[in-house]
Amino acid sequence: MKSVIHKLLSIFILLALGLTPLFSSATSWANAYGQINSIELWVNGSDTYGVWVTLKAGSSTPSDCGLNYFLPHNGTNKELVYSSLLTAKVSNGYVTIQTDQSKNASGLCRIHKVKI
């Protein structure tokens, strides 16, 4: 009985060690916080960015992202998120942008979630 428990424990430990890299390479979520300096929009859907948001200098940002974030054309709630960003810009309010730092294009990080 002890040898069966010992074998099961050994298998469990090996599985846990094997799964560790999967969990450690999970999404690198980070938040940026500040006021919006500018919003740029593209008319055609051929560009990479869709909506480009630049935060004002002095904003709190993830090290890999800087002040620039983008909302891709294929975003399901793109219009809703854009209207929230525009509201924050017009009201001079603060916005929190959640981003996945690994999803960037030319130094811009992709917007995942916006909190106003």
Residue-wise pLDDT for 49-107, tens only, equals 888 999 999 999 987 788 999 988 777 788 899 999 999 999 999 999 999 877 776 77
For the chain, give the mean pLDDT. Answer: 79
User: What's the CA gap between 41 and 50, in Å, rounded?
Assistant: 6
Q: CB of 19 within 8 A of CB of 13?
A: no
| Structure tokens given for 79 | 């219009």
H helical segments located in 2-112? 2-24, 78-90
Q: 27-113 domain in CATH 3.40.1620?
A: no
SS3 category, 102: strand
- pLDDT for position 32: 94
Q: Which long-range contacts (CB under 8 A, 24 or more apart) does 22-27 make?
A: 27/100, 27/102
For range 1-29, the mean pLDDT: 55
- pLDDT for position 33: 96
Is pTM, for the whole model, over 0.75? Answer: no
